[in-house]
Amino acid sequence: MKAIQIVKPGELKIIDMVKPVIDEKNNILVKMKAAGICGSDVGIYHGTNAAATYPRVIGHEMVGVVEETGSNVRHLKVGDRVIINQVVSCGHCYPCNHNRGNVCDNLQVRGVHIDGGYREYMAVPEDDCYILPSNLRDADAVMIEPTTIAIQSLSRAKLEDDDMLFIIGCGALGSSILRMARLSKARIISGDIVEDKLNQAKMLGADYTINLLDDNFEEKIREYTCGRGPTVTIDAACTKDSLMNAIKVTGNAGRVITMGFSVNPTEVNQFLITSKELDVRGSRLQNRKFGEAIDLIKQGKIDLTDAVSHTFNFMDAQKAFDFIDSKDYSIKKIALMFD
């Protein structure tokens, strides 16, 4: 079978790989149908993802159809359309024992530490497969994974209806967080430096939008939050200044959620954290949130139709990554398709 491998940073190759066979543990053979391209895949391609190891078959937004089931499979059957959990955890370390398998001490993420979904077939455990809603196209289904990441960040933020949420960044991640947060009554401010993205955030239901290049953006945030600052700030931009900005603007007793993977030092100020008693929390991957995301789709509370803006055949992965590098504003989400 064919697979897309990042041999080393900057080098993407189509390789031949042995088709996996199912066993006791990896008891479901999935024929891949669609795989999303995420910012982190681009990071692995460019060598800016500190977690990745090479060579690697990337892709962690993995949608396919069950082709074969092992004898110990209980629920799934051949023909079921599924999305695959990207998190592989050990089940016996401190985080796992505290239901935090997404930060397992022995964490392996498909497409990052072990081979992921840019290949024609995968063998995975039944428990890592989630059946898709029937009305959702394969391409759009890849968006369930970013949705789970958004759900995770809001659960880390413990978002409540009386919160004033500031989302820094209106890209793929920020938009997913906005969509999910819009299900609550929280007041939402979206910030970005691109006007088109701010307009899109407005359409997705942001109460206010702010261009972070405006000199007086901090003032505006205070104005939109009754003078006290957001109660929750989520950094979905993860740029050099975003953490300090988040800590600066968030009000007393607030929560600041980080999602970035940069290893570059960033300056923060202890007084701002201590004096306001801020909780600064990381949010990584997702902790068994696929069921929740799929339920919300089935209930019609979130709509992923047309969330994918472009598709490419997976054999044209190089073209797709080059197109992403062009930073075309029309790109919302790209999915690689397998037939």
The two tokens of residue 215 are 């000199």
Tell me how crowded residue 153 is: count the other CB atoms within 10 A of its CB. Answer: 28
**Shortest Cβ 110–Zn ion spacing (Å):** 16
Are 337 and 33 in contact, with CB atoms under 8 Å apart? yes
Give me the torsion for CA of 146, 309, 16, 66, rounded to 10°.
60
**Shortest Cβ 309–Mn ion spacing (Å):** 15
Q: CB-wise, 38 or 157, nearer to Mn ion? A: 38
Query: Residue 38's binding partner, choosing from Mn ion, Zn ion, none, with beta-carbon cut-off 5 to 8 A by kind?
Result: Mn ion
Spell out, one character per residue from 42 to 81, where the chain touches Zn ion: x when CB under 5 A holds, - when not.
----------------------------------------
The binder of Zn ion chosen from 30, 96, 210, 243 (CB under 5 A): 96
Q: Per DSSP, what are the bridge partners of residue 56?
A: 6
**Shortest Cβ 152–Zn ion spacing (Å):** 17
Q: CB-wise, 38 or 141, nearer to Mn ion? A: 38
How many alpha carbons fall within 13 Å on the CB side of residue 164? 19
Distance CA 249, CA 144 (A): 31
Beta pairing class for 87-88 and 108-109: antiparallel
Q: Is 109 in the site for Zn ion (CB under 5 A)?
A: no
DSSP string, 9-65: TTEEEEEE-PPP---SSS-EEEEEEEEEE-HHHHHHHHT--TT--SSEE----EEEE
Q: By CB under 5 A, what part of segment 184-243 binds Mn ion? A: none
Tell me how crowded residue 252 is: count the other CB atoms within 10 A of its CB. Answer: 11
| Integer CA distances (angstroms), 337 to 61, 180, 301, in order | 12, 26, 26
Q: CB-wise, 100 or 248, nearer to Zn ion? A: 100
Q: By CB under 5 A, what part of segment 9-38 binds Mn ion? A: 38
Q: Where does this chain touch Zn ion (CB under 5 A) — which range of 36-44, 86-94, 137-145, 198-206?
A: 86-94
**Shortest Cβ 296–Mn ion spacing (Å):** 17
Q: CB-wise, 38 or 132, nearer to Mn ion? A: 38
**Shortest Cβ 223–Mn ion spacing (Å):** 34
Q: Report the Cα 46 to chain-centroid distance in Å.
A: 18
Query: Residue 104's binding partner, choosing from Mn ion, Zn ion, none, with beta-carbon cut-off 5 to 8 A by kind?
Result: Zn ion
Are 235 and 259 in contact, with CB atoms under 8 Å apart? yes
Q: Is 89 in the site for Zn ion (CB under 5 A)?
A: yes
For Mn ion, the nearest residue by Cβ is 38
Q: Is 143 in the site for Mn ion (CB under 5 A)?
A: no
Q: CB-wise, 28 or 38, nearer to Mn ion? A: 38
Q: Given the rule CB under 5 A, which residues bind Zn ion?
A: 89-90, 93, 96, 104
Q: Given the rule CB under 5 A, which residues bind Mn ion?
A: 38
